Amino acid sequence: MLFKQQAWLRQKLLVLGSLAVGSLLYLVTRVGSLDRLQPICPIEGRFGARGQAEFPLRALQFKRGLLHEFRKGNSSKEQVRLHDLVQQLPKAIIIGVRKGGTRALLEMLNLHPAVVKASQEIHFFDNDENYAKGIEWYRKKMPFSYPQQITIEKSPAYFITEEVPERIYKMNSSIKLLIIVREPTTRAISDYTQVLEGKERKNKTYYKFEKLAIDPNTCEVNTKYKAVRTSIYTKHLERWLKYFPIEQFHIVDGDRLITEPLPELQLVEKFLNLPPRISQYNLYFNATRGFYCLRFNIIFNKCLAGSKGRIHPEVDPSVITKLRKFFHPFNQKFYQITGRTLNWP
Ligand code: A3P
């Protein structure tokens, strides 16, 4: 009996404790008391010569509280400083590469308080119909943010679509461009796996990877196969370099983002002139998923959807060897142009 009472008391205390912590967090995120909080770590100079003082901490901390509610339509005008929120054109775009880890990169960058992501792939520059709707249409697709924050969107089809570099250049010739790449053969298999899953969902049969990647007549690599062509990174990059200098690109190692995301993200923070605010706290390895997941704070965390991190089909090792040999010279050129050596086989 005594034991039961003690258990009851313990349970009540636990509930009361959770309520108290919950209320405190509620107040901290909803009320202006945020202004009195200290920054987690010192904020260094960013956004040009005028420096950090211009970047209101309040804007950073409100990002996932009020802005989130605003997007969901849950908050009143008093809570959200509506007049400060704007839909801004992106200052950086993740232009590709498909299956390189573009979603993981976008979501992880969004952990940074000064970054606001466009959740959907907008496909403005690669889709003629969308492009014809004009830049205002594009801007209105962007999330609300504070002027000091930067908007980032990702549409991996941009990297391989002929017209895109010129179109982006016309919008903003000094935009920052992020390309996340993976070892080309692995990326091609990942690409194939995604298409295969789509076919299976529709109860359709599909060719084996080997049959698509190798031309049965010549027994050489089939360069007409899109998954192979997309992995010839240097060919696509060369088209972009007709419009943008190499300094405007940053290459993210997608294989490393899987196993060791923080250093890759820190390089991106530097490239974007953002103060280093993403920390190991924001990233935790989820053994069940087999990937790093995201932690925004003590309450909110998330892993990427199951469509990210599919199990690849087994591929004939001789085909893998052939593909790796095929990609090798293109990779060397890619390292040379970008200045980033990735040690792919
Ligand atoms: P696989 O499905 O081949 O494993 P994209 O977002 O460009 O489509 O890229 C998908 C790839 O992102 C996945 O490819 C997966 O390996 C990779 N990825 C990188 N970090 C991840 C993470 N934290 N969670 C899930 N997938 C991640």
pLDDT means per 10 residues, the chain with 345 residues, are 44 47 38 29 30 37 47 49 90 98 98 97 98 98 96 98 98 98 98 96 95 96 98 98 98 98 98 98 97 96 95 97 98 98 95
Distances (CA, A) of 46 to 61, 258, 282: 17, 28, 21
Find all residues with CB under 8 Å of 89, minimum gap 6, and list them: 135, 138, 139, 142, 151, 171, 172
In a domain, 69, yes or no: no
What is the structure's pLDDT at 63?
Answer: 52
What is the structure's pLDDT at 82?
Answer: 75
CA 264 to chain centre: 12
Q: Is residue 290 annotated as involved in ligand binding?
A: no
Distance 82 CA to ligand 1 centre (A): 35
Q: What one-character DSSP code corresponds to residue 143?
A: P
- The domain in which residue 254 lies consists of 77-338
What is the structure's pLDDT at 83?
Answer: 81
The protein residue with its alpha carbon nearest to ligand 1, atom 17, reads 101
In a domain, 57, yes or no: no
> Does 99 participate in catalysis according to the annotation?
yes
In a domain, 184, yes or no: yes
CATH of the domain at 96: 3.40.50.300
In a domain, 138, yes or no: yes
In a domain, 11, yes or no: no
70 near 80, Cβ under 8 Å? Answer: yes
Provide the domain count of the chain. Answer: 1
The two three-digit tokens of residue 264, written as one number: 């890759």
Q: Residue 254: which of 97, 119, 118, 95 has the closest Cα?
A: 97
In a domain, 309, yes or no: yes
Q: Could you tell me how many residues make up the chain?
A: 345
Q: Is residue 182 annotated as involved in ligand binding?
A: yes
In a domain, 10, yes or no: no
Q: Please identify which of the residues 99, 154, 176, 322 carries the catalytic annotation.
A: 99
178 near 264, Cβ under 8 Å? Answer: no
The verdict on whether omega for the bond into residue 97 sits within 30 degrees of 0, i.e. cis, is yes
What is the structure's pLDDT at 36?
Answer: 29
Q: Residue 101: which of 277, 307, 317, 332 has the closest Cα?
A: 307
